[in-house]
A = this chain, B = another copy of it.
Amino acid sequence: MLAIVAEVFREHGYEGASLSLIGEATGLGKGSLYHFFPGGKEEMARAVIAHIDGWFEDNVFGPLRDSTDPLAGVERMIEATDSYFRSGRRVCLIGAFALDESRDLFAGQIRSYFGRWVTHLADALARSGHRPGEASELAEEAVAAIQGTLTLARAANDLDVFSRALRRLRMRLGVPAKT
């Protein structure tokens, strides 16, 4: 349900995702939509962001934080990223929201999401032996690389762009290449 709404926002952006599109995609009328989300479109978007945030908490930030082998956590992050973004076919909704005016509405959630991604990754890299400052920079570079690659992959309509980027990412972060 939230996943379907997320897909509509992902495809059309916050402004472009009209209630009729959302209703059509979910099979729900406005009555139901406003029953579950009395706050309307903004509340839907907020719930969708929270849902995505939860997924990343479980599948990305968690492993980064909890893996005893920090590099194994990084590898799990990369695999989760690859599967979530469908090797570049999918776009990062939160990244897209960060770019346009909807940023102002969701600034807190957006900042928190990217902030935690970078700090958890930096922590893992520091535990894997990088100097703290270097770990921070590497983490920031890695998250930016993923976001930028999503843009590039969409622009070029080329799936290889994304897999190449993940390969470079493993190299830069010191994760053994996948066999």
Q: List residues of chain A with CB under 8 Å of any chain B CB.
A: 11-16, 91, 94-96, 98-101, 103, 107, 110-111, 113-115, 118, 137, 140-141, 143-152, 154-157, 161, 164-165, 168
Chain B residues, Cβ within 8 Å of A110? 155
In Å, the complex CA distance between A152 and B115 comes to 9
**How many copies of this chain?**
2
Residue of A12, A15, A96, A148 with most chain B CB atoms under a 10 A cut-off: A148
Contact B154 A98 (CB under 8 A): yes
Contact B156 A145 (CB under 8 A): no
Contact A107 B157 (CB under 8 A): yes
CB distance from A176 to the nearest CB of B (A): 19
Given A99-B99, A100-B12, do A147 and B140 touch, yes or no (CB 8 Å)? no
CB distance from A45 to the nearest CB of B (A): 14
Chain B residues, Cβ within 8 Å of A96? 96, 99-100
Contact A151 B152 (CB under 8 A): no
CB distance from A94 to the nearest CB of B (A): 8
In Å, the complex CA distance between A110 and B152 comes to 10
